[in-house]
Amino acid sequence: MKYAECERCGKLSPRWSVVGNLSMCVFKFVVGMLTGSKGLIADSLHSVADAISSIFVLIALTVSDKPKDKHRPFGYGKVEYISTIFASLFIFVCAVTVLIDALESIKSGVNRVPDNGAIFATLLSLAFSWLMYSSNTCAGTQLNSPAMLADAAESKADSLTSVAVLVGLIGTKLGFASADNVSAIVVAAFIFHIGTEMFLSGVHGLIDVSMDSASLEQVRRICLGVKGVEGVKGIKSRQMGQKNHLNIDIEILQSVTVFEAHEIANRLKTAVKNNLEGVDEIFVRTIPIQKLSFFKKANN
């Protein structure tokens, strides 16, 4: 974690996202109805998806923060992935709803030119969405929270859909009567895309996704720097929400006693946790080797 304030920000950001997205949902829907903007109404449904996603994130972060117990020895971190999958399903429903409504409007030939208030509302929505994206991205990155990063991605998608709505509104003012309905279809496409990404992210987390290769290489270097470690045979990792669990196989001299091997393993665990963020449990397996045999092989 880069700053001590990140933990406090991480707790506040999901709450602000829920309140803000619900407020923007009502605001955009009301303005969309009053101004006759299909794109803005579609964007309000997207905000519903944002709010639902934020609620799931808030619940997931509360549950995943529970301490380990005898029934859940690895903790509750994977709840974040489950919440991401559930949120993506709601987003898919919103995408289909928006798409059907826009296509029916184009088919019926009903193309109302929205009032100017819709443009102002869309600009305000764009600014809010980008603010939420920046806040959740910062907190999610520092806390290594998959659920919070998924919420940030949703906020980014919301800002992109606001841009699409804005383009559609400007298009209607320039004489392209169906531009607002077309922007609603673009919004639906954005919603579906971000929903797909969130769903896949949740699925990958549930099937024990590994740490990135750069982090694994850093773990290997840290291990080799620990006194008594002759080599690193293998490293396996799996992400459990905001934390990572590691299984490390190290080589030690055959002459090392059981007590000394235990001490080496403890030094290794301390070194990794002190030098790498987001590591929780570390399981170390020691493999005894005869160092002289390696020299003989090298000479041969």
* The pLDDT value given to residue 26: 86
Please indicate, yes or no, whether residues 269 and 175 belong to a single structural domain of this protein: no
Please indicate, yes or no, whether residues 166 and 292 belong to a single structural domain of this protein: no
Please indicate, yes or no, whether residues 186 and 224 belong to a single structural domain of this protein: no
Where a domain ends, among 175, 206, 237? 206
Res. 174: pLDDT tops 60: yes
Please indicate, yes or no, whether residues 46 and 111 belong to a single structural domain of this protein: yes
- Which CATH number characterizes residue 83's domain? 1.20.1510.10
* The pLDDT value given to residue 6: 65
* The pLDDT value given to residue 298: 43
pLDDT tier at 232, thresholds 50, 70, 90: very high
Number of domains, the chain:
2
* Of 233 and 65, more confident: 233
Spatial distance between the Cα atoms of 120 and 27, rounded to a whole number of angstroms: 12
Residue 168: domain span: 5-206
- In one-letter notation, the amino acid at residue 7 is E
Please indicate, yes or no, whether residues 168 and 62 belong to a single structural domain of this protein: yes
Please indicate, yes or no, whether residues 113 and 238 belong to a single structural domain of this protein: no
DSSP 213-276: HHHHHHHHHHHHTSTT--EEEEEEEEEETTEEEEEEEEEEETTS-HHHHHHHHHHHHHHHHHHS
CA dihedral 134, 137, 140, 146 (to 10 degrees): 140
Q: Would you say 18 and 49 are in contact if contact means Cβ atoms under 8 Å apart?
A: no
Please indicate, yes or no, whether residues 109 and 227 belong to a single structural domain of this protein: no
Spatial distance between the Cα atoms of 130 and 137, rounded to a whole number of angstroms: 10
Where a domain ends, among 176, 206, 236? 206
Residue found under tokens 């006194």: 227
For residue range 26-81, what is the model confidence (pLDDT) as tens digits? 888 888 888 777 667 777 776 777 777 777 777 776 776 677 777 776 677 777 77
- Nearest residue to 164 (alpha-carbon basis) of 46, 47, 39: 39
Please indicate, yes or no, whether residues 48 and 175 belong to a single structural domain of this protein: yes
Q: Would you say 96 and 115 are in contact if contact means Cβ atoms under 8 Å apart?
A: no
Where a domain ends, among 157, 178, 206? 206
The pTM is what? 0.56
* The pLDDT value given to residue 47: 75
* The pLDDT value given to residue 109: 61
- Which CATH number characterizes residue 256's domain? 3.30.70.1350
pLDDT tier at 284, thresholds 50, 70, 90: very high
* Of 117 and 220, more confident: 220
Token representation of residue 237: 């990792």
As beta bridge partners, residue 287 has 251
For residue range 78-100, what is the model confidence (pLDDT) as tens digits? 777 787 787 778 778 777 877 78
Res. 294: pLDDT tops 50: no
* The pLDDT value given to residue 300: 37
Please indicate, yes or no, whether residues 22 and 117 belong to a single structural domain of this protein: yes
Spatial distance between the Cα atoms of 193 and 174, rounded to a whole number of angstroms: 29
Spatial distance between the Cα atoms of 225 and 227, rounded to a whole number of angstroms: 6
- Nearest residue to 84 (alpha-carbon basis) of 127, 54, 41: 54
- Helix crossing, 179-206 with 79-108: angle to 10°? 160
Please indicate, yes or no, whether residues 69 and 178 belong to a single structural domain of this protein: yes
Angle, alpha carbons 166-168-171 (nearest 5°): 110
Please indicate, yes or no, whether residues 238 and 200 belong to a single structural domain of this protein: no
* Of 134 and 112, more confident: 134
* The pLDDT value given to residue 171: 81
Within 8 A by CB and 6+ apart from 257, the residues are none
Q: Would you say 61 and 145 are in contact if contact means Cβ atoms under 8 Å apart?
A: yes
Res. 198: pLDDT tops 70: yes
Reading phi first (left if > 0) and then psi (alpha if -120 to 50, else beta), residue 269 is in: alpha
Please indicate, yes or no, whether residues 194 and 234 belong to a single structural domain of this protein: no
pLDDT tier at 242, thresholds 50, 70, 90: low
